[in-house]
Amino acid sequence: MKTFRDYCGQSVRLTEERRKHILEHPEMRGMVKYIQETLLNPQQVIQSLSDKDAHLYYRFYIGTKVGNKHLCVVVKTVEHEAFVLTAYLTDSIKKGEIIWLRK
């Protein structure tokens, strides 16, 4: 298990099971360091519309294995424990309340 810090200094766990799940997708291989970077220095954080306990951290990357994409890292917090649910590359940012926006 890895533990990262987010932009607020909150501890976020990435379990081995979740890491393996994320890396099942070929485009995500080699992206664990970018998950850490996205948590620590996101361009924006959105509250999930489907789960009020989940935040979507976004950061744009140029030249990923599938082109220029946003990395979305989904973090769920339960009883003050934050952990990565999943992470994926996407063309668009989901709708939801903006929790944080880099200026």
- Tens digit of each residue's pLDDT (9 = 90 or more) over 25-38: 999 999 999 999 99
Number of domains in the chain: 1
Integer Cα distance of 39 and 30 in angstroms: 16
Integer Cα distance of 33 and 70 in angstroms: 15
Reference 72, options 42, 40, 33, 103; nearest CA is 42
pLDDT tens digit string along 87-99?
A: 999 999 999 999 9
What backbone phi and psi angles, to 5 degrees, belong to 39?
-65, -45
Tokens of 29: 């291989």
- Domain with 19, as residue range(s), is 2-101
% the chain with pLDDT above 90: 99
Tokens of 94: 């989901």
